[in-house]
Amino acid sequence: MRLEGKTAVITGAARGLGRACATRFAEEGASLLLLDVGRDLDGVPYALGSDSQLRHTADLCRRHGVPVVTMTADVRSGTACEEAVAQALDRFGSVQVLVNNAGIAAPSGKAIHDITEDEWQLMIDIDLSGAWRMMRAVAPTMVARREGSIINVSSTAGLVGYRHFAGYVAAKHGLVGLTKAAALDYAPHRVRVNAVCPGSVRDDAVVEGRMLAEIARSLDVSVDEHEEIFVQAQPTNRLIEPEDVAGAAVWLAGDDSRQVTGTAVTVDGGFVAR
């Protein structure tokens, strides 16, 4: 119960890594406010997490006996981010942890000169600016209480480049930079800010993840072929499991990492070590 007595806000919690983090945080005793957009968005060429999936995540978490509140929120809206934090404070009194997990993998799969203005703006607005908006909303209460851990879910794409994914790579690199800058801003106030950089995460049916499938679709290759390519590229010759990333997030959220801030923790089977 490493997170007992803590309240965590998790964005993009309807499925995938958001659900994996939410259920693991619940196992560790955290009270939870779970956020997701809960609908599809114009310009994103695949189905996003639904309201029913968000409710299912909440049900899985409640099985561990922790209080859970859900809310649909679009991280492109500063007002929505502020309302989410206000709801967490109203229900739980404080927020100790923020997991910025909301993000999209596409529109992608094209060279830089083929990316439209709208496609570029959409990727940056969700994957980078959305995290900034949530940080801006939650930081004042953490600073006032002189406690907090902010965890930004970046990617190996935040550390290296990938062909035909310029928008995603730029957003995730930006998120690592934002993490480092925020860590320096808030270190005097005992608020820590770190990034988790997952490698290729397996599309696990339990958490309904589909990131790898969407990347394969963007590249116009089969999912099986795409997974095999990534398995061969991993020094460990294994895909990352959602619980691997959730475990890293739990550690960063808890007191065992109290002196860790401004860092990017890779969960990538050694991919970026080469």
Domain ranges of the chain: 7-209+240-267
Residue written as tokens 């957003």?
171
* Phi–psi pair at 11, nearest 5 degrees: -95, 160
**How confident is the model at residue 233, as a pLDDT?**
77
Say how many Å lie between the first and final Cα of the chain, rounded.
Answer: 36
What's the mean pLDDT when you consider all of the chain? Answer: 94
Distance from C-alpha of 58 to C-alpha of 54, rounded to nearest angstrom? 6
The residues assigned a catalytic role are: 168
Q: Which CATH number is correct for 7-209+240-267, 3.40.50.300, 3.30.360.10, 1.10.580.10, 3.40.50.720?
A: 3.40.50.720
Q: Amino acid letter at 175? A: L
Under a CB-based contact definition with an 8 Å cutoff, are residues 174 and 124 in contact?
Answer: yes
Residue 226 confidence class, pLDDT cut points 50, 70, 90: low
Count the alpha carbons within 13 Å of 249 in the hemisphere toward its beta carbon.
33
DSSP 6: -
**pLDDT tens digits, one per residue of 168-225:** 999 999 999 999 999 999 999 999 999 999 998 878 788 887 777 777 777 677 777 7
